[in-house]
């Protein structure tokens, strides 16, 4: 008598449409995992800062003219944060970005003012010069093995001196056509609607993109058999984003005649989309995370760690050159003090945005949120007429508090504070394996076995 074996039946995935309300499902609103939970908490902090600032300043924070100035005045921080997060994910730090931006800025200004370069050629010169500077620093980091901290500290000193040497420590003006890049707006076209029509059109495109992206993401998850968020989570996510997009569109489009969404904001948005795609959906992006998570394991799995290190350093200097060029366009000249302290704002934005100090964790979107926290805080302090020394003190305390709270929580074996409410209450904290330290490819100490809460999945 032979026994018959029944083929195992696959357990059907839970129907997300019938799932009831569960607090933990909120983790899936922006991706899930500790990293995204921290970004969700930082986003909440940004909203709170905006609301408090709006109340304290008597409504001046969300005035169209103030929002436009906020984007124009902080575009360089947003651009630098995009590159800095990739450097920090890879396990490095770049202290030279402010000096590189100032150096490239003065050369670009000189090329237009003295050498009579047309502004498109001057921009190309600036990008190429940024790439050359990045290649120089990347060579020492990736192929010689000098720690990035030392290489970029030397770059901070060298390129700061180069800026003052070539510019003779004086302001170098830029032409009016070039200044539009940093201080121009979307032009007025079409019928008189009381708003800037191009800004309205831009807002409509963004709103449609939000809906299409969510639908596409759910279809991809269904096709791959992955767990999907309940319908209500997607609806809440899309609804909140649409409200933000509509309000921002009306505010930017409803300013005084001649102003609208800044042109430099288009540049920032394009860079965010480009680098968010690069870090999430390309091989080089995955290699950067692998390098920061555990460089030895990445090397054994076939990652060319020297090439990745070289890339992140070159990329950072190119973005620093773009930040410098947009800044001198808004300032209508290049000055000897351009770029001072920019590296600190960029690093603070990345850490506030959820990146791990040890590398391996961080996102472009999270860094942009962190940069917006700094921008809104700067704007609030300026509206309150707080002096520059006090502003620096307050920003330093905010950065220290943001990082210290999370580090303390991890050392206690607890989840991230900002993600605490989004975890299951019954979830036990995972043990942390300290591991032994070895030296990384650039000479800095690095753990061979990383703690579980420092992996890209959190």
- pLDDT higher than threshold 60 for residue 303: yes
What mean pLDDT is predicted for residues 433-458? 40
Whether 200 is covered by a domain: the verdict is: no
Q: What's the rounded Cα separation, in Å, for the pair 112 and 124?
A: 12
- Give the model's pLDDT for residue 11: 45
What mean pLDDT is predicted for residues 378-405? 81
Whether 211 is covered by a domain: the verdict is: no
- Give the model's pLDDT for residue 387: 85
- Give the model's pLDDT for residue 404: 73
Q: How confident is the model at residue 216 (pLDDT cuts 50, 70, 90)?
A: confident
Whether 338 is covered by a domain: the verdict is: yes
Q: How confident is the model at residue 173 (pLDDT cuts 50, 70, 90)?
A: very high
Q: How confident is the model at residue 317 (pLDDT cuts 50, 70, 90)?
A: very high
- Give the model's pLDDT for residue 419: 43
Per-residue model confidence as pLDDT tens digits over 195-207: 899 999 999 999 9
Whether 354 is covered by a domain: the verdict is: yes
Q: How confident is the model at residue 382 (pLDDT cuts 50, 70, 90)?
A: confident
Q: What's the rounded Cα separation, in Å, for the pair 390 and 381?
A: 9
- Give the model's pLDDT for residue 37: 53
- Give the model's pLDDT for residue 392: 82
Burial group, residue 99, by CB count within 10 angstroms (0-12, 13-18, 19+): buried
Q: What's the rounded Cα separation, in Å, for the pair 117 and 125?
A: 10
Whether 191 is covered by a domain: the verdict is: no
What mean pLDDT is predicted for residues 258-266? 90
Copy the structure tokens of residue 62. Answer: 């969300």
- pLDDT higher than threshold 80 for residue 1: no
- Reported as half-sphere exposure (CB side, CA atoms, 13 A), residue 186 has a value of 22
Instruction: Give 46 or 165, the one with higher predicted confidence.
Output: 165
- Give the model's pLDDT for residue 191: 86
Structural domains counted in the chain: 1
Whether 106 is covered by a domain: the verdict is: yes
CB atoms within 10 A of CB 74: 22
Q: What's the rounded Cα separation, in Å, for the pair 333 and 370?
A: 28
- Give the model's pLDDT for residue 117: 94
Which range (38-42, 56-60, 141-145, 395-399) has the least confidence? Answer: 38-42
- Where on the phi/psi map is residue 431: left (φ > 0), alpha (ψ -120 to 50), or beta? beta
CATH number for the domain that contains residue 102: 1.10.3470
- Give the model's pLDDT for residue 429: 38
Instruction: Give 443 or 407, the one with higher predicted confidence.
Output: 407
Range of the domain at 300: 23-184+262-454
Q: How confident is the model at residue 422 (pLDDT cuts 50, 70, 90)?
A: very low
What mean pLDDT is predicted for residues 154-177? 92
- Give the model's pLDDT for residue 21: 56
Q: How confident is the model at residue 407 (pLDDT cuts 50, 70, 90)?
A: low
What mean pLDDT is predicted for residues 421-440? 40
Per-residue model confidence as pLDDT tens digits over 36-91: 555 666 777 788 888 988 999 888 888 999 999 999 989 999 999 999 999 999 99
- pLDDT higher than threshold 50 for residue 226: yes
Per-residue model confidence as pLDDT tens digits over 5-29: 454 444 444 555 555 555 555 555 5
- Give the model's pLDDT for residue 269: 93
Which range (237-241, 281-285, 308-312) has the least confidence? Answer: 237-241
Nearest to 306 by CA among 320, 293, 295, 294: 295
What mean pLDDT is predicted for residues 360-369? 88
Whether 429 is covered by a domain: the verdict is: yes
Choose the most confident range, by mean pLDDT, from 337-341, 401-405, 448-452: 337-341
- Give the model's pLDDT for residue 189: 86
- Give the model's pLDDT for residue 300: 87
Whether 231 is covered by a domain: the verdict is: no
């Amino acid at each position: 008598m032979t026994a018959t074996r029944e083929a195992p039946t696959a357990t059907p995935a839970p129907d997300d449409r019938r799932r009831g309300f569960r607090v933990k499902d909120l983790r899936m609103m922006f991706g899930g995992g500790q990293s995204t939970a921290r970004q969700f908490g930082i986003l909440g902090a940004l909203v709170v800062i905006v609301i408090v600032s709006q109340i304290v300043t008597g409504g001046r924070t969300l005035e169209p003219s103030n929002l436009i100035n906020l984007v124009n005045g902080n575009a360089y921080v947003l651009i630098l944060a995009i590159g800095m997060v990739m450097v920090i994910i890879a396990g490095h730090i770049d202290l030279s970005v402010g000096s590189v931006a100032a150096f490239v800025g003065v050369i670009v200004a000189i090329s237009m003012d003295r050498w009579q370069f047309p502004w498109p050629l001057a921009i190309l010169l600036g990008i190429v010069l940024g790439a050359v500077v990045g290649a120089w620093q990347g060579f020492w980091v990736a192929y010689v093995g000098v720690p990035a901290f030392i290489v970029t500290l030397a770059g901070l000193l060298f390129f700061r001196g180069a800026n003052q040497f070539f510019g003779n420590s004086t302001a170098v003006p830029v032409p009016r056509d070039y200044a539009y890049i940093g201080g121009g707006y979307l032009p007025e076209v079409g019928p008189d609607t009381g708003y800037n029509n191009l800004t309205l059109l831009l807002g409509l495109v963004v709103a449609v993109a939000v809906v299409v992206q969510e639908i596409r993401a759910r279809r991809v998850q269904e096709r791959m058999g992955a767990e999907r968020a309940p319908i209500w989570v997607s609806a809440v996510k899309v609804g909140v984003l649409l409200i933000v997009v509509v309000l921002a569109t009306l505010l930017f489009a409803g300013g005084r005649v001649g102003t609208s969404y800044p042109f430099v904001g288009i540049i920032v948005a394009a860079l965010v989309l480009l680098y968010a795609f690069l870090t999430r959906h390309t091989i080089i992006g995955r290699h950067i995370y692998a390098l920061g998570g555990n460089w030895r394991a990445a090397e054994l799995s076939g990652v060319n760690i020297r090439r990745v290190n070289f890339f992140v350093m070159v990329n950072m200097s190119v973005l620093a050159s773009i930040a410098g060029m947009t800044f001198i366009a808004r300032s209508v000249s290049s000055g000897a003090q351009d770029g001072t302290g920019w590296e600190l704002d960029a690093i603070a934005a990345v850490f506030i945005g959820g990146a791990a100090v040890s590398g391996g964790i961080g996102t472009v979107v999270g860094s942009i949120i962190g940069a917006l926290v700094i921008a809104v805080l700067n704007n609030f302090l300026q509206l309150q007429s707080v002096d520059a020394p006090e502003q620096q003190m307050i920003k330093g305390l905010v950065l220290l508090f943001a990082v210290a709270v999370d580090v303390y929580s991890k050392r206690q074996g607890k989840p991230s504070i900002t993600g605490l409410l989004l975890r299951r209450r019954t979830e036990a904290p995972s043990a942390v394996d300290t591991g032994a330290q070895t030296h990384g490819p650039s000479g800095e100490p690095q753990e061979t076995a990383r703690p579980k809460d420092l992996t890209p999945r959190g």
